[in-house]
Amino acid sequence: MARGAARTGRKAGATTRRAEAAPVVEGGLTPLDYMLTMLRDESLEPKARFEIAKAAAPYVHAKLATVEHSGGIALSHEDALAELDDEPQDDESRDNEPEGEGDPPQAAG
């Protein structure tokens, strides 16, 4: 009978993902690198570059997951905006607005 703990894991001689990818990496150009090179080539038609961008996007940008809100909503977005519009503005808040926003200056006289 064998002595010691049972052995688990990769069998001897099995290839790893790194070993499988080595020929591509050694060649210096991955499929994504190729797509990005083509995407940056301004001599291609914009429509072709757009299709390449669509194909490369999943490899560069993560897809956002759908999130379902489980809490109750007491106030809708539209009602909250209406409440903000109804609130009186005091003079201090107008002084803190960046230049170029708010009411135009009144002419003296």
Q: Where are the domains of the chain?
A: 26-60
- Helix 31-40 with 46-60: angle, nearest 10 deg: 140
**6 confidence band (pLDDT: 50, 70, 90):** low
For residues 94 and 40, which has the higher predicted lDDT (pLDDT)? Answer: 40
Work out the average pLDDT over 6-25. Answer: 66
Write out the two tokens for 13: 């001689």
Q: Is pLDDT above 90 for 60?
A: no
Write out the two tokens for 7: 């052995």
Burial 19-34 (b: 16+ CB within 10 A, else e): eeeeeeeeeeeeeeee
Q: Is pLDDT above 90 for 73?
A: no
